[in-house]
């Protein structure tokens, strides 16, 4: 009888402590923390870079009107995310009151556009997390013809064919049209096919150094796979050497809406309001063999 009571008592104590433990844990998992960080450049001069927590929508808390750089302001207002910052002249930034947890930082700047790679940071409530983002990424662009070798099978989603049929593959070509020349003239641009003013949103790796481009890379192919998926040199080589279909995290990026908004914003002279779900439907290329 005594034994039974003692066991019951012990069980009661155990339950009581585990409940209170969970309560404090939940409290910590909520709450907010700050992120202070730096964006470091290799070879590129320091210019403003937009840094945002990916995936959290809401009112933009950065005072867009106070930002003098019009291109940066256009990107910021398109993002509609609450947790953004713009780097200062030393590349430093600070985002405060970020919900605690594992978050992904994404960056945009004029030269590189939206960088598809995400940078993971763990934010603890009441604490300051630090982040160091090194740009540009040390990988080469190989061009969509290289991706075609492995991504044109119909039963695997034919990403190449779908891209080829989309407007993105013609984004450079269109800059040679009469319409483009008219648009360019209004902007004081002579030749849209050679001006960064247009190329930065109409081709892949517009601002990259020559050393970052593979031998087969051709800018004439417009907005290519690697603009959205990041430079694919490492992924293409790894897959060539293995017949394993399991792609490790970090080998090639899976972009989010953040990527699109780097170009589909009011800095585009031909801007049409961008609705992600609607636009994404027109370009999606899922692999039907993979379960979501």
Residues that bind ligand HEC (CB under 6 A): 113-114, 142, 144, 146-147, 149-151, 156-157, 159-160, 163, 167-168, 170-171, 174-175, 177, 179-180, 183-184, 187, 189, 192, 197-198, 200-202, 223, 225-229, 232, 235-236, 239-240, 245, 247, 252, 254-255, 259-260, 262-265, 267-272, 279-280, 282-283, 285-287, 290
Q: Dihedrals φ, ψ of 286, to 5°?
A: -70, 155
Closest distance to ligand HEC from the beta carbon of 69 (Å)? 13
Closest distance to ligand HEC from the beta carbon of 34 (Å)? 28
What is the Rg, in whole angstroms, of the alpha carbon atoms belonging to the chain?
24
DSSP codes of every residue in 204-264: TTTT--GGGB-TT--GGG-S-HHHHH---HHHHHHHHT-----PPTTSS----HHHHHTTS
Q: How far apart are CA 81 and CA 102, in angstroms?
A: 17
Toward ligand HEC, which CB reaches closer, 106 or 168?
A: 168
Closest distance to ligand HEC from the beta carbon of 68 (Å)? 17
Nearest residue to 288 via CA among 128, 155, 95: 155
Toward ligand HEC, which CB reaches closer, 127 or 275?
A: 275
Toward ligand HEC, which CB reaches closer, 107 or 236?
A: 236
Q: In what order do the strands lie in the sheet with 49-53?
A: 84-86, 49-53, 101-109, 113-123
SS3 9: helix
Query: The dihedral of CA 210, 140, 268, 77: what is its sign?
Result: negative
Closest distance to ligand HEC from the beta carbon of 107 (Å)? 13
Tokens of 109: 């700047």
Toward ligand HEC, which CB reaches closer, 83 or 160?
A: 160
Closest distance to ligand HEC from the beta carbon of 99 (Å)? 22
Toward ligand HEC, which CB reaches closer, 37 or 264?
A: 264
Nearest residue to 133 via CA among 173, 106, 163: 106
Toward ligand HEC, which CB reaches closer, 42 or 284?
A: 284
Closest distance to ligand HEC from the beta carbon of 241 (Å)? 8
């Amino acid at each position: 009888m005594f034994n039974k009571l003692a066991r019951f008592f012990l069980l009661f104590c155990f339950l009581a402590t585990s409940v209170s433990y969970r309560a404090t844990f939940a409290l910590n998992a909520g709450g907010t923390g700050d992120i202070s960080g730096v964006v470091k450049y290799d070879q590129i001069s320091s210019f403003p870079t937009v840094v945002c927590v990916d995936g959290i929508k809401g009112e933009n808390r950065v005072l867009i009107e106070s930002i003098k750089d019009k291109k940066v302001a256009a990107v910021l207002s398109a993002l509609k995310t609450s947790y953004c910052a713009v780097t200062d002249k030393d590349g430093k930034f600070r985002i405060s009151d970020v919900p605690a947890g594992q978050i992904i930082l994404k960056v945009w700047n004029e030269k590189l556009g939206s960088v598809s790679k995400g940078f993971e940071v763990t934010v603890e409530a009441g604490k300051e997390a630090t982040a160091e983002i090194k740009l540009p990424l040390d990988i080469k662009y190989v061009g969509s013809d290289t991706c075609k070798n492995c991504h044109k099978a119909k039963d695997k989603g034919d990403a190449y064919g779908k891209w080829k049929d989309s407007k993105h593959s013609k984004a450079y070509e269109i800059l040679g049209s009469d319409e483009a020349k008219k648009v360019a003239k209004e902007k004081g641009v002579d030749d849209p096919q050679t001006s960064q003013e247009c190329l930065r949103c109409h081709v892949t790796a517009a601002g990259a150094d020559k050393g970052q481009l593979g031998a087969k890379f051709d800018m004439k192919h417009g907005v290519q796979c690697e603009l959205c998926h990041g430079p694919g040199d490492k992924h293409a080589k790894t897959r060539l050497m293995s017949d394993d279909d399991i792609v490790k995290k970090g080998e090639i990026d899976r972009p989010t809406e953040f990527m699109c908004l780097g170009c589909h914003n009011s800095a585009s002279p031909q801007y049409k309001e961008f609705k992600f779900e609607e636009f994404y439907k027109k370009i999606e290329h899922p692999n039907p063999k993979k379960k979501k």
